[in-house]
Amino acid sequence: MDGQLSLFESVTEAFGRQEELENSALYKHVAERMGWTESDLEARQPVGQAGRPHNIPKRQVRWVQQTLKHLGLLERAGRGVWRLTAEGRKKVPMRRIETGQVMLAFSTELGVALWADCKTAYARGDEPIVLALTSPPFPLAKARAYGNPTEAQYVDFLCEALEPIVRRLAPGGSIVLNLSNDIFLPGMPARSLYRERLVLAMADRFGLYKMDEHPWVNRSKAPGPVQWASLKRSQLNVGWEPIYWFTNDPHKVRADNRRVLEPHTARHLGLLAGGGEQRDREFSDGAYTLRAGRSFANVTAGRIPRNVLELGHHCGSQNAYKAAARAAGLPVHGAPFPLRLAAFYIRLLTVEHDLVVDPFGGSLTVALAAEQLGRHWIATEVIWEYLAGGGLRFEDASELAWSPAFLRAA
Ligand SMILES: C[S@@+](CC[C@H](N)C(=O)[O-])C[C@H]1O[C@@H](n2cnc3c(N)ncnc32)[C@H](O)[C@@H]1O
């Protein structure tokens, strides 16, 4: 049974990588996946009552091909050439770039989207990175469509991915990571300490400094964890995700909160209009004082944001992306973050023309925010379908990626 499953998997995987496939290329791919040698593919044995000589592995592959055809997933595209049907494209695993390969998916005037594993892509190139802003795959027990590392693998997985970026980080540059607090120990309502381990590894392995940990409060999250909050009733429903901010040099850090000021509240504007505070008061044993005519008397450009981000995940840009991806027959990314969140960190931590990267690009939200704010950007993503969908968000994306030649090159 195992053998049959992996034969099916390797045939569908081969079609997941190519629009159309000749039988010779299909046999080659499946042979590599199944560990068959060249002589396995050449050997012939008498088969059936007539005893005509056939190659058994190739016959097995053709049998899978016929089965997929009967299921309506595969169709003949020419003599000895097959392709997925529209239904097949929905069901077959998404196209993942081979380890070590880097392909240009598309470019704009300001940025490039690469179909690549981030471990490989940032090792090339030397423009200093001012901000790496990303949401890596979380170590979820039930993996997303794009897969994820386990909790035990997580620190090594992320450090390996970030290492080339840390090496290219500009002095005072930042790394901002959106992680999950909701990774539970197996069978227990207790949370994993993976993020504490990761923070220590960022300091110990890379010499980075933790600037802050911002709770991203998202009241529109679906209720959960169902097992521990709704069924066992021992946990509360989740309402936030941590966002870690690291730098390599806190003295030179390029953050400037004047780029993210919020409007003053009506109360603050009232105080300003009245010439500031009218009371002399002390609070908390003198730690905090109000001085009549001095406190809140200076006109300032805006309110410094609190280090808690309150925003729901609903986002006009995401909705438009999802509609466009569906219309193009592409899978919709299951874990994008809001454009406003990306724009906030890009404004806080960079200026125009700085280089912003997103190693785990997904639907290219960070890239889009960088483009809109006039920053250079590089985004990498291992799954082609997400790049294709994300590319629809850019008005001036080059056509290169979508040409059949590009697909064949992969
Ligand atoms: C949480 S999602 C990012 C979502 C993104 N912030 C957005 O707004 O769409 C993580 C993405 O990383 C991709 N990925 C996983 N491993 C990768 C790797 N080694 N290199 C590049 N991308 C990877 C996954 O396919 C997935 O799309």
Ligand 1 centroid distance, CA of 405 (Å): 25
pLDDT, tens digit, 9 for 90 and up, residues 319-347: 999 999 888 778 889 889 999 999 999 99
Residues of the chain with CATH 1.10.10.10: 2-91
In percent, the amount of the chain with pLDDT more than 70 equals: 93
- Please identify, by atom number, the ligand 1 atom nearest to the C-alpha of residue 358: 6
The reported pLDDT for the residue numbered 396 is 79
Which atom of ligand 1 lies at the shortest distance from residue 363's CA? 9
Q: Which CATH architecture has domain 2-91?
A: Orthogonal Bundle (1.10)
Which residues have any ligand 1 atom within 6 Å of their CB?
Answer: 117-119, 135, 137, 146, 161, 333, 335-337, 359-360, 362-363, 365, 380-383, 386
Burial class from Cβ neighbours inside 10 Å (0-12, 13-18, 19+) for residue 340 reads middle
The model carries a pTM of 0.81
Residue in 134, 382, 385, 386 to alter for ligand 1 test, most ligand atoms within 8 A of Cβ = 382
What is the atom index within ligand 1 of the atom nearest the CA of 360?
12
Answer whether residue 110 shows pLDDT above 80. yes
Distance 76 CA to ligand 1 centre (A): 33
Residue pLDDT, tens place only, 125-175: 889 999 999 999 998 877 676 678 899 999 999 999 999 999 999 999 999
Whole-number Å distance, alpha carbon 140 to ligand 1 midpoint, is: 14
Positions of CATH 3.40.50.150 in the chain: 102-259+308-409
Q: Class for domain 102-259+308-409, per CATH?
A: alpha beta
Q: What is the pLDDT of residue 354?
A: 98
Please report which confidence band the pLDDT of residue 49 belongs to, taking 50, 70 and 90 as the band edges.
Answer: confident
- Kindly give the distance from the C-alpha atom of residue 387 to the centroid of ligand 1, in angstroms, as a whole number: 10
Degrees (nearest 5) of the Cα angle 272, 274, 276? 55
**Whose CA is closest to 235, among 222, 224, 220?**
224
248 alpha carbon to ligand 1 midpoint, in Å?
Answer: 24
CA separation for the pair 303, 28 (Å, rounded): 63
What's the CA-to-centroid distance between 138 and ligand 1, angstroms?
Answer: 10
Q: Copy the structure tokens of residue 133.
A: 């802003």
Strand order in the sheet with 240-247: 102-107, 111-116, 376-381, 355-358, 129-134, 169-178, 240-247, 209-217, 309-310
- Looking at the CA of residue 333, tell me the nearest atom of ligand 1: 9
